[in-house]
DNA sequence: GTCAAGCTGTCATCAAGCTGTCATGCCACG
DNA sequence: CGTGGCATGACAGCTTGATGACAGCTTGAC
């Protein structure tokens, strides 16, 4: 799950990025609308966290622009405390949710998760597939009833694969989801490595990660 | 367990804060509705103690506002002795309990605990897990039948972990529950410290605090 | 008011285990 | 049967957590 944070205050952006990172999201930070556009052109995001006051324009314009272009990516807007006008306006222009600054990082995380969930058409954070039971909120994983420990990266990968289960995920998509730009120099072999590690932990669960040579990986039920 | 006290009389607010603090709650004080809103936006609370007469408006309006916004956080209202109208009105508007001023600090503590308990869906203050027997009301802890003394912070941490047992609790979440704003500059290493201290006291009880590197801590039965 | 006891949080140091690289071997597909 | 993509074990670096020691402060007793 890759998130774009459009926010020009470094402290806020980095705090959010760190918090969301810990929650298994890969975050990119854009300090201007121009940066944001560049990021969006380069890669896809599961959601955007958008501050309204930016050095090169209003986030509301950006939002309107994206919606006019037919982009339905979930957008969570950050507004100042007393600008009711901005809040309402942003919602009118297609924002999916807003958060008043200063905000609680956990709430940001929870709301983002809710947005992404809604977007994916799912009702729950918890998913059971055959012998696999994964709860994104508690970051807990069970295989055939037994708790299995997994690391942050493994959970992030599993999250991605589950969210797109049945579909073949290109390796670079997985890579984008696991690492933001700041880790862009990581070798692509890493994905293969984590797939291997995940497979070991999912062994016997009834779901497996299939390799599709030259195309990517797909998580699905066995058989 | 973090509590927000909305009260404009410093003496009362500080007495309550000190008393609840001794009971293991982390308290923040807001003297106005504006402050209260700001606090709520910044962090999450297990409950709110709300005075009705505030310099910038009525606590009842605030309460109505929160409920309209879909906020279900438990609210305990403080009312003057003879304003039956306020009392009933506040309950109608979604208050969960009220206390008539002047009130006994111990009663405040007990009622808050009851509210939080109800919210968590538990019927009892006392929880037994394997060889561990924890009573949040009496702040008493027994391990394999033997009384074990624990400090305020240790009990607060244990309380949080037990309330979320089986789930991985991120360190910053634990931090938020243990410290209010006035202690915001405490090093995060403190959580590790108290986890270590708690572990010593829980040794051999059948429950343990697992470390999940990069994710957080989880309290669960051994095995 | 004084004093002792013990709780608190900081620091420094050490240990653990996650992470990503590399090398090597395997397999599918042409 | 060759080649490129993938699998996987081993490893070193480094982030993260564990823990003992200590100083400051709170608390409660007298």
User: Phi/psi at B36 (nearest 5 deg)?
Assistant: -60, -45
Residue in A with minimal Cα distance to B41: A103
Rounded CA-CA distance A215/A213 in Å is: 5
Cβ atoms A169, A162 nearer than 8 A? no
Q: Smallest Cα–Cα separation from A169: which of A185, A186, A154, A191?
A: A191
Does any strand C atom come closer than 7 Å to the Cβ of A184? no
- SS3 assignment, position B190: helix
Q: Which nucleotide is nearest to B183 (CA to C1')?
A: C9
Does any strand D atom come closer than 7 Å to the Cβ of A187? no
pLDDT tens for A126-180 read 888 888 999 887 888 999 988 899 999 999 999 999 988 889 999 988 998 888 7
| Helices (H), ranges, B2-151 | 10-22, 33-42, 59-68, 84-92, 105-120
Q: Which CATH class is domain B126-221?
A: mainly alpha
Q: Which residues of B touch A (CB under 8 A)?
A: 37-38, 41-44, 166-168, 170, 172-173, 176, 212-216, 218, 220
Q: Which helix (H) or strand (E) holds B76?
A: strand B75-79
Q: Smallest Cα–Cα separation from A80: which of A95, A62, A102?
A: A102
Cβ atoms B20, B27 nearer than 8 A? yes
Residue B76, strand partner residues: B49, B97
Q: Smallest Cα–Cα separation from A44: which of A174, A202, A186?
A: A174
Q: Do domains A2-120 and A126-221 have the same CATH topology?
A: no
Please give the structure tokens belonging to residue A193: 């490595």
pLDDT (tens place) for every residue of chain B, 223 residues total:
899 999 999 888 989 999 898 888 999 999 999 999 988 877 889 999 999 989 999 999 999 888 877 677 889 999 876 667 777 778 778 888 888 888 888 888 888 887 887 777 665 678 888 889 998 877 889 999 899 999 999 999 999 999 888 889 999 889 989 998 888 788 889 999 999 999 999 998 899 999 999 999 999 998 6
Domain positions in chain B: 2-120, 126-221
Does any strand C atom come closer than 7 Å to the Cβ of A152? yes
| Helices (H), ranges, B26-83 | 33-42, 59-68
Cis peptide before A102 (omega within 30 of 0): yes
Contacts for B216 with CB less than 8 Å, ≥ 6 apart: A139, B168, B169, B170, B171, B173, B174
Look up the CATH number of domain A2-120.
Answer: 3.40.50.2300
β pairing state of B26-30 and A207-212: unpaired
- R_g (Cα) of chain A, nearest Å: 18
What is the average pLDDT score of chain A? 85
pLDDT tens for B147-189 read 999 999 999 999 999 988 888 999 988 998 999 888 878 888 9
* DSSP state letter for B183: G
- Write out chain B residues lying below 8 Å of A106, CB-based: 44, 173, 176
Rounded CA-CA distance A75/A47 in Å is: 6
Residue in B with minimal Cα distance to A156: B215
């Amino acid at each position: 799950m890759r998130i774009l944070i459009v926010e020009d205050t470094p402290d806020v952006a980095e705090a959010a990025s760190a918090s969301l990172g810990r929650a298994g999201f890969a975050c990119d930070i854009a300090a201007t609308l121009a940066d944001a556009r560049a990021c969006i052109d380069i890669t896809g995001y599961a959601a955007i966290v958008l501050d309204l006051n930016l050095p090169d324009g209003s986030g509301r314009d950006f939002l309107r622009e994206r919606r006019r272009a037919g982009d339905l990516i979930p957008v969570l807007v950050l507004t100042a405390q007393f600008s009711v006008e901005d809040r309402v306006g942003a919602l009118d222009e297609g924002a999916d949710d807003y958060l008043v600054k200063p905000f609680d990082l956990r709430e940001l995380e929870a709301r983002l998760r809710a947005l992404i969930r809604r977007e994916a058409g799912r009702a729950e954070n918890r998913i059971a597939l055959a012998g696999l039971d994964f709860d994104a909120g508690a970051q807990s994983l069970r295989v055939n009833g037994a708790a299995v420990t997994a690391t942050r990266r493994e959970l992030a990968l599993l999250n991605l694969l589950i969210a797109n289960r049945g579909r073949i995920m290109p390796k670079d998509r997985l890579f984008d989801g696991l690492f933001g730009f700041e880790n862009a120099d990581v070798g692509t072999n890493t994905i293969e490595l984590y797939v291997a590690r995940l497979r070991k932990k999912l062994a016997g669960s009834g779901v497996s990660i299939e390799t599709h040579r030259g195309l990517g990986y797909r998580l699905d039920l066995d058989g």
